[in-house]
Amino acid sequence: MNSDTLRKLYTDWRIVLMVALVILSIIAIGPHFEDGKFTTNLQYGLDLQEGSWLQMEFQAEVVTVEPGIDINKLADTLGTELDTEVIPISADQVEVRKAFTREQLEPVFTKAGATIVTVNPGVSKDTAELVKRTLDEKVNSLGTKDARVNILTGLNGITRYVRVELAGVDMKTANEIVGQQGKFEIRVQTTGNQTEHVIFGDVITSVNVPTKDQQGMWGVGFTLSPEGADAFRQGAISSNAVNDPQNHELVMLLDNNTVYSAPLSAELASQLKAGPIRSLSASTGVGDEGLQEAENLEIHLRAGALPVDVTVAGSGSVSATLGDYYKILCILAAIAALIVVGVVVYYRYREPSIVLPMVATNLAEIIILLGIARFVQQLDLASIAGIIAVMGTGIDQLVVITDEVLHEGRVPSSSVYLKRLSRALGIIVVSAGTVVFAMLPLALMDLSTLRGFAIITILGVLIGVLVTRPAYGKIIMAILSK
Q: Compute φ and ψ for 258, nearest 5 degrees.
A: -70, 125
- Residues 348, 357: Cα–Cα separation, whole Å: 15
3-class secondary-structure state, position 133: helix
Q: How far is CA 26 from CA 20, 100, 145, 280, 341, in A?
A: 10, 55, 21, 51, 23
DSSP per-residue string spanning 153-191: E-TTS-EEEEEEEEET--HHHHHHHHSS---EEEEEE-S
**pLDDT per residue as tens digits for the range 293-325:** 888 888 888 777 788 888 888 877 777 667 777
Show Cβ contacts of residue 11 under 8 Å, excluding neighbours closer than 6 positions: none
Model confidence at 379, pLDDT cuts 50, 70, 90, reads: confident
Model confidence at 400, pLDDT cuts 50, 70, 90, reads: confident
pLDDT, the chain, mean: 83
Provide mean pLDDT across the span 261-287: 83
Amino acid code (one letter) for 312: V
Using CA atoms in the order 421, 426, 432, 433, what is the torsion angle rounded to 10 degrees? 160
What is the sign, positive or negative, of the torsion defined by CA atoms of 98, 102, 104, 106? positive
Higher pLDDT, 124 or 168: 124
**pLDDT per residue as tens digits for the range 42-78:** 877 767 777 788 888 899 999 999 888 889 998 889 8
At 1 the pLDDT is 53
Asked whether the predicted pLDDT for residue 21 surpasses 90, the reply is yes
Reference 63, options 13, 9, 99; nearest CA is: 99
Confirm if 218 and 286 have CB atoms less than 8 A apart.
yes
70-76, Cβ contacts within 8 angstroms, sequence gap of 24 or more: 74/112, 74/113, 74/114
What is the radius of gyration, based on Cα positions, of the chain?
31
* Residue-range domains of the chain with CATH: 3-46+319-480 (1.20.1640.10), 60-125 (3.30.70), 184-305 (3.30.1360.200)
Reference 44, options 288, 320, 312, 314; nearest CA is: 320
Chain-centroid distance of CA 113 in Å reads: 42
Higher pLDDT, 367 or 206: 367
Amino acid code (one letter) for 354: I
Q: How far is CA 274 from CA 177, 227, 267, in A?
A: 38, 16, 11
Confirm if 48 and 393 have CB atoms less than 8 A apart.
no
What is the sign, positive or negative, of the torsion defined by CA atoms of 342, 343, 344, 348? positive
**pLDDT per residue as tens digits for the range 207-217:** 888 888 878 88
b/e sequence 462-473, b meaning 16+ C-beta within 10 Å: ebbbebbbbbbb
Chain-centroid distance of CA 17 in Å reads: 33
At 420 the pLDDT is 80
In percent, how much of the chain has pLDDT > 70? Answer: 93
Provide mean pLDDT across the span 264-291: 83
The burial class, CB within 10 Å (0-12 / 13-18 / 19+), for 276 is: middle
- Residues 389, 447: Cα–Cα separation, whole Å: 19
